[in-house]
Amino acid sequence: DTAVSQTPKYLVTQMGNDKSIKCEQNLGHDTMYWYKQDSKKFLKIMFSYNNKELIINETVPNRFSPKSPDKAHLNLHINSLELGDSAVYFCASSQFGGGDKETQYFGPGTRLLVL
């Protein structure tokens, strides 16, 4: 009964390839996020979707494209992978509306290694 799940947990690929990471939440939340954690452990938001609508789009290369088929799923597709894309990518979810709902719950992370 995992709350926020991501697949795959590990991804090793060559430069120039295209890859996708999938995220699903069963918490009934309406807002989902993608974060990137770099080698120095710094966590930074990339995207946020609320009810399938993009609401946060940080300065991220166009090679990164999020897709939300429904409010329980948020996928991240990365084109033409580069060495600098190597990181841990976290999905998270929350319920819009303030108070306790502002708490974000994180998935287990996907470690991406680009060779």
User: Nearer Cβ to another protein, position 51 or 80?
Assistant: 51
* Strand stretches in the chain, DSSP E: 4-7, 10-13, 19-25, 31-37, 43-50, 53-57, 64-70, 73-78, 87-94, 105-106, 110-114
* Under rule CB under 8 A, residue 100 binds another protein: yes
C-alpha 94/C-alpha 104 separation (Å) is 5
Site stretch for another protein (CB under 8 A), options 22-30, 34-42, 70-78, 79-87:
34-42
* Under rule CB under 8 A, residue 104 binds another protein: yes
Type of residue numbered 65: S
* Under rule CB under 8 A, residue 1 binds another protein: no
Report in angstroms how near the CB of residue 47 gets to another protein at its nearest: 10
Q: Is 37 helix (H, G, I), strand (E, B) or coil?
A: strand
User: Nearer Cβ to another protein, position 10 or 14?
Assistant: 10
Residue ranges binding another protein (CB under 8 A): 33, 40-45, 48, 56, 58, 88, 90, 92, 98-100, 102-106, 108-109, 111
